Amino acid sequence: MSAETDRSKAGIPKLADVARQAGVSTATVSRCLNDPSVVSERTRQKVMKAVERLGYAPNFGAQALAAKRTNTFGAIIPTMENAIFARGLQAFQEELGAHRTTLLVASSSYRPDLEEEQIRALVARGADALLLIGYDRTEATYEFLRQRNMPFVVSWAFDAGHSATTVGFDNRQAMQTLAAQVIDLGHRRLALISAERRDNDRARERVAGVLAAMADTGLAPDDLTIVEVPYSIENGSSAFAQLMARADPPTAVLCGNDVLAAGALTQAKAMGLSVPDDVSITGFDDIELAQIVDPPLTTVHVPHRDMGREAARTLIAARNGTEKVSSLKLQTQLVWRQSLGPAPKTG
């Protein structure tokens, strides 16, 4: 009882405590922990027992301060609320884990100022490398990264013209391919429920993809109605309702991602509209949700797991500084499911 109290009041064990307990020097303890191959087995045993007995854990601050590396990578994603980034991040972490590297995740709520804050926090914390989503951030942020010589990779996007190392996919191209199919099915009055484009290059590129497909077929940009809302099922629903309330409602509603599309679908059902007979709906991402809704969503499959894994490998290579790192463009794939059909004969 009193021992218990004493113990909790006692200071946190430090390297020196372990050293004393084991009857060796701090240097030996340090070596035991960081490069066991260099100490004798007998010493190692002693030290590890002391570590165990004392419940010692290294002080990260001191460790980082002295060693200038942390075996920690950081990732800043816009949101944890929906599954868009979950699968890719999981794969990212799995790959890091295989290399004894810890992942710290922060989320920016789609706000560049918060993202910069999180980047600084992670860098200050000694992250060895960073995973970032998309290109949209201030030049000052890039400058900060460069100045600190911080390895980072941009993901969930791909712009060959950008200097940042990237492991991602071409949002515009992907959306353009999908939109082309929609147009091919006879749809002329199109609508797009997009994420907010400000500070979100992926969203902008997807919009651009739709417009490009339309231009290819001689459709005017005005034939596309765009509604911008934050990603959420509910917002998808209300945006869809708003679109269908127009005098000249669209025959196909493309959505910036599957979450919005799921909302749109639900709303269509609530309005007694048949999908795809009355109106077609498409998504983007191909998260699990896309297969669950009824009808299942025609969407763009993004290789999230590959992306996460490859991003991790790229960063690990960059951290080790051995290989030269290079960008990697992954392919997306159109997934045909029932939510997309031919345009209705006439309105």
Partner DNA sequence: TTGTAGGCGTTATCAT
Partner DNA sequence: ATGATAACGCCTACAA
Residues that bind a copy of itself (CB under 8 A): 7-8, 12, 55, 57-65, 72, 79-83, 86-87, 89-90, 93, 97, 102-107, 114, 118, 120-121, 123-126, 143-144, 146-149, 232-234, 262-263, 265-266, 269, 288-289, 291-294
Q: Which two tokens stand for residue 198?
A: 């400000």
Dist. CA 13–CA 135, nearest whole Å: 44
Q: Which is nearer to DNA, 28 or 155 (CB)?
A: 28
Note if the bond before 276 is cis, omega within 30 degrees: yes
CB of 286 to a copy of itself, least distance (A): 13
Q: Which is nearer to a copy of itself, 106 or 226 (CB)?
A: 106
- The site partner of 26 among a copy of itself, DNA, none (C-beta below 5 to 8 Å per kind) is DNA
- The site partner of 45 among DNA, a copy of itself, none (C-beta below 5 to 8 Å per kind) is none
Positions in the binding site for DNA (CB under 7 A): 11-12, 14-16, 23-28, 30-31, 33-34, 38-40, 42-43, 56, 58-59, 61-63, 65-67
Q: Which is nearer to DNA, 40 or 331 (CB)?
A: 40
CB of 284 to DNA, least distance (A): 43
CB of 228 to DNA, least distance (A): 41
- The site partner of 102 among DNA, a copy of itself, none (C-beta below 5 to 8 Å per kind) is a copy of itself
Q: Which is nearer to a copy of itself, 226 or 253 (CB)?
A: 253
SS3 label, residue 317: helix
Q: Which is nearer to a copy of itself, 29 or 293 (CB)?
A: 293
- The site partner of 40 among a copy of itself, DNA, none (C-beta below 5 to 8 Å per kind) is DNA
CB of 229 to DNA, least distance (A): 41
With a CB cutoff of 8 Å and minimum separation 6, the contacts of 277 are: 341, 344
Q: Which is nearer to a copy of itself, 103 or 191 (CB)?
A: 103
CB of 141 to DNA, least distance (A): 19
CB of 253 to a copy of itself, least distance (A): 16
CB of 132 to DNA, least distance (A): 23
Q: Which two tokens stand for residue 182?
A: 């929609």
Dist. CA 167–CA 306, nearest whole Å: 10
Question: H or E segment at 167?
Answer: strand 166-168
User: Look-up: residue for tokens 């990732």?
Assistant: 75
Query: Is the Cβ–Cβ distance between 84 and 301 less than 8 Å?
Result: no
Q: Which is nearer to DNA, 65 or 215 (CB)?
A: 65
- The site partner of 72 among a copy of itself, DNA, none (C-beta below 5 to 8 Å per kind) is a copy of itself
SS3 label, residue 291: helix
Residue whose C-alpha is closest to residue 303's, from 156, 177, 202, 158: 156
Q: Which is nearer to DNA, 21 or 93 (CB)?
A: 21
Residue whose C-alpha is closest to residue 254's, from 281, 274, 227: 281
Q: What is the DSSP letter of 13?
A: P
CB of 120 to DNA, least distance (A): 12
With a CB cutoff of 8 Å and minimum separation 6, the contacts of 14 are: 56, 59
Q: How far is the CA of 109 from the CAs of 119, 197, 228, in angstroms?
A: 13, 14, 16
- The site partner of 31 among DNA, a copy of itself, none (C-beta below 5 to 8 Å per kind) is DNA
Strands 333-335 and 299-301: antiparallel
- Residue 305's φ and ψ, nearest 5 degrees, are -65, -45
Query: Is the Cβ–Cβ distance between 250 and 277 less than 8 Å?
Result: no
